[in-house]
Amino acid sequence: MSERKAVCPSFAIITCSDTRDLASDEAGQALEALIAAEGWECKSHVLVKDDRASIAEAIVAAADDIKADVVLTCGGSGLSLRDVTPEATQDVCERNVPGIAEAMRAHSLQITPFAMLSRALCMQRGRTLVINLPGSTKAAKENWEGIVSALPHAVSMMAGAGH
């Protein structure tokens, strides 16, 4: 049996909010801590307004310029009319990865029935995975728990390592 090299994914966090700044972004800070707890790197953490073009631009920068393996958006995936993160993600990504969003909702539904109200997506932009997480600290952590174990394998597959 051949040994596989351990994959250490790199991350970028994009918090999408009209009401927070980086200092008050508890969900983004919690995600940074969860990434660090895995021994992984967070290359960038930015905050943009709930604006489709601004969110799309931040995703492109994180994927193409910063070259993060995984971009976590935080916020803007609910039912408010200002929640446009899934649409911005679709604007700049090529391929849908529905299983990750389904896994987040399935995991979260074990905790709260409100998980069914999430419009979160997971999509691929080139070799970068873009995952929409909720803006609530509690919900962002719960969604992370539902998918974290699959992320190194996903990054490995996008890099061409196969199954």
Structural domain contains residue 80: yes
Residue 56, domain extent: 10-158
Residue 22 has pLDDT above 70, yes or no: yes
Can you tell me the distance from the alpha carbon of 51 to that of 76, in angstroms, rounded to the nearest whole number?
9
Helices (H), the chain: 26-37, 52-60, 85-92, 98-109, 137-147, 151-158
**Owner of token pair 């997506």:** 121
Can you tell me the distance from the alpha carbon of 125 to that of 66, in angstroms, rounded to the nearest whole number?
13
The confidence score (pLDDT) of residue 4 equals 43
Structural domain contains residue 5: no
Structural domain contains residue 1: no
Query: What does the pLDDT average to over 141-152?
Result: 97
Residue 162 has pLDDT above 80, yes or no: no
Q: How many domains does the chain have?
A: 1
CA angle 11, 113, 89 (to 5 degrees): 35
Structural domain contains residue 2: no
Structural domain contains residue 163: no
**Beta-strand relationship, 10-16 and 95-96:** unpaired
Structural domain contains residue 146: yes
Share of the chain above pLDDT 90, in %: 91
Q: How confident is the model at residue 161 (pLDDT cuts 50, 70, 90)?
A: confident
Residue 2 has pLDDT above 50, yes or no: no
pLDDT-wise least confident of 6-10, 93-97, 104-108? 6-10
Q: What is the CATH number of the domain that holds 53?
A: 3.40.980.10
Q: What's the whole-model pTM score?
A: 0.94
Structural domain contains residue 14: yes
Position 80, amino acid: S
What Rg, from alpha-carbon coordinates, does the chain have? 15
Task: Give the C-alpha distances (Å, rounded to integers) separating 103 from 47, 55, 110, 116, 161.
Answer: 26, 23, 11, 12, 23
Structural domain contains residue 121: yes
The confidence score (pLDDT) of residue 71 equals 98
